[in-house]
């Protein structure tokens, strides 16, 4: 994979050219020895399902806008659309293979039963899963291969050991984990170096700061926060998912976004709006800027992956990397997470937060 070097600090770049009107973001190393990627990536899950209907033409335009902005980390998973998300990305990947870092994930198993979600980490499944992703993405190698969720019944010696074999065979370049504790990250890292840890981290969700963030910083593992905009709630785009979002939107069933919890949490956005107004920015940009600056407190490389299907939102999100919040503004935002009502998921038993508490 070819990456253009450049500014590798977390300080955003504001340079642009006449041929590229979108200001390009800086680059960082994704874990020790990992690829150089833009300081912000793109979560592609919503292109295929979970957030209601999508416009594929608009989504393809958004992928192109991401590259214009210097966003090079594109994140998918075999579970998104039961493989259709990977298939959707394949033509884009083929056209820009040397410009992007391609990340996908395995471990969450789905069947024809829409309610079923299983977790498999056994070695045989690792091999089955990677072959499926390689085929759907139409690539010879995956740049970053994540274990999407961990089955604690399977030792890391088996699961990460099987992933390490994929690296040795040239099918995968770097390994990642998602939603693990700090202790689990250390245990896995001892089997094979882990380049990136992906977990939810935002103004609304700071469970990872209990142990996973410190472990990642200690080991030189990059942190890839998903849902840094609180699944859109931090943007103020909706106040009650059940009342405002379509039937096909899974946020209608998330505890934080409905009923009394939604009303409580909507009130927590006022300081975000105040800070946004002071910067002439949007609440989404403030939320993303907070993630970048919070990571620097921990001495951690961070590459958040907000998801969007719209070019305008993509450009807005990328511009957040140029916002610097003051100490007073950070203090104003500090209490939010501790006041959030409701769990992240209806069933928290498989998350790192549940296992750490």
pLDDT category at 350 given cuts 50, 70, 90 is low
User: Per-residue pLDDT for 323 more than 50?
Assistant: yes
What's the whole-number average pLDDT of the chain?
A: 86
Q: What is the pLDDT of residues 24-54, one digit of tens each?
A: 999 999 998 899 999 999 999 878 655 456 7
CA distance 256 to 138: 38
Q: Positive or negative CA dihedral for 216, 67, 235, 259?
A: negative
CA distance 122 to 248: 32
Q: What is the pLDDT of residues 145-177, one digit of tens each?
A: 999 999 999 999 999 999 999 999 999 999 999
Q: What is the pLDDT of residues 54-110, one digit of tens each?
A: 778 888 999 999 999 999 999 999 999 889 999 999 999 999 999 999 999 999 987
Q: What percent of the chain has pLDDT above 70?
A: 83
Q: What percent of the chain has pLDDT above 90?
A: 68
Q: Positive or negative CA dihedral for 276, 282, 284, 289?
A: negative
Strand partners, 174: 144
What is the structure's pLDDT at 129? 97
Our measurement of the distance from residue 325's CA atom to the centroid of its chain's CA atoms, rounded to an integer in Å, reads 22
What is the structure's pLDDT at 352? 58
pLDDT category at 7 given cuts 50, 70, 90 is very low
Q: What is the pLDDT of residues 179-219, one digit of tens each?
A: 999 999 999 999 999 999 999 999 999 999 999 999 999 99
User: Per-residue pLDDT for 347 more than 70?
Assistant: no
Q: What is the pLDDT of residues 117-137, one digit of tens each?
A: 789 999 999 999 999 999 999
Q: Are 147 and 121 a contacting pair, CB within 8 Å?
A: yes
Catalytic residue numbers read: 80
User: Per-residue pLDDT for 1 more than 70?
Assistant: no
User: Per-residue pLDDT for 5 more than 70?
Assistant: no
Backbone region of residue 191 per phi and psi (left: phi > 0; alpha: psi in -120 to 50; beta: other values): alpha
pLDDT category at 260 given cuts 50, 70, 90 is confident
What is the structure's pLDDT at 243? 60
CATH of 27-356, one of 3.40.190.10, 3.40.50.970, 3.30.420.130, 3.20.20.100: 3.20.20.100
Three-state SS for the chain is CCCCCCCCCCCCCCCCECCECCCCCCEEECCCCCCEEECCCEECHHHCCCECCCCHHHHHHHHHHHHHCCCCEEECCCCHHHHHHHHHHHHHHHHCHHHCEEEEEECEECCCCCCCCEECCCHHHHHHHHHHHHHHHCCCCEEEEEECCCCCCCCHHHHHHHHHHHHHCCCEEEEEEECCCHHHHHHHHHHCCCCEEEEECECCECHHHHCHHHHHHHHCCEEEEECCCHHHHHHCCCCCHHHHCCCCEHHHHCHHHCHHHHHHHHHCCHHHHHHHHHHCCCHHHHHHHHHHHHHHHCCCCECCCCECCCHHHHHHHHHHHHCCCCHHHHHHHCCCHHHCCCCCCCCCCCCHHHHHC
209 versus 344: the higher-pLDDT residue is 209
User: Per-residue pLDDT for 315 more than 60?
Assistant: yes
Our measurement of the distance from residue 73's CA atom to the centroid of its chain's CA atoms, rounded to an integer in Å, reads 10
Return the number of other C-beta atoms located less than 10 Å from residue 276's C-beta.
21
Strand partners, 337: none
319 versus 341: the higher-pLDDT residue is 319
């Amino acid at each position: 994979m070819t990456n253009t070097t450049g500014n590798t600090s977390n300080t955003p770049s504001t340079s642009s050219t006449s041929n590229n009107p979108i200001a390009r973001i800086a680059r960082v190393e994704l874990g020790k020895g990992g690829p150089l990627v833009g300081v912000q990536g793109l979560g592609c899950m919503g292109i295929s399902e979970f957030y209601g209907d999508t416009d594929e033409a608009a989504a393809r335009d958004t992928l192109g806008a991401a590259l214009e902005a210097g966003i090079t980390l594109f994140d998918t998973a075999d579970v998104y659309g039961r493989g259709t998300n990977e298939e959707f990305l394949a033509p884009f990947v083929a056209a820009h293979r040397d410009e992007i870092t391609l990340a996908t994930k395995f471990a969450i198993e789905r069947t024809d039963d829409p309610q079923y979600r299983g977790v498999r980490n056994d070695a045989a499944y690792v091999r089955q899963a990677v072959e499926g992703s390689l085929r759907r993405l139409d690539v010879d190698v995956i740049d970053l291969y994540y274990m999407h969720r961990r089955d604690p019944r399977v030792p890391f010696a088996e699961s990460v050991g099987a992933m390490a074999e994929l690296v040795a065979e040239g099918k995968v370049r770097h390994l990642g984990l998602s939603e693990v504790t700090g202790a689990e990250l250390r245990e896995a890292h001892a089997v094979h170096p882990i380049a990136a840890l992906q977990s939810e981290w935002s103004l609304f969700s700071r469970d990872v700061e209990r142990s996973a963030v410190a472990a990642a910083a200690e080991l030189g593992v990059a942190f890839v926060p998903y849902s840094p905009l609180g699944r859109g709630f931090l943007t103020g785009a909706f106040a009650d998912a059940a009342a405002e979002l379509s039937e096909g939107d899974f946020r209608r069933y998330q505890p934080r976004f409905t009923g009394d919890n939604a009303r409580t949490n909507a009130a927590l956005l006022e300081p975000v709006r105040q800070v946004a107004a002071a910067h002439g920015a949007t609440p989404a940009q403030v939320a993303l800027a907070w993630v970048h600056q919070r990571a620097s407190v921990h001495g951690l490389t961070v590459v958040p992956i907000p998801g969007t299907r719209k070019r305008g939102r993509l450009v807005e999100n990328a511009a957040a990397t140029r916002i610097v919040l003051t100490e007073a503004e950070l203090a104003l935002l500090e209490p939010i997470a501790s006041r959030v009502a409701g769990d992240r998921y209806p069933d928290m038993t498989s998350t790192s937060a549940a296992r750490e508490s």
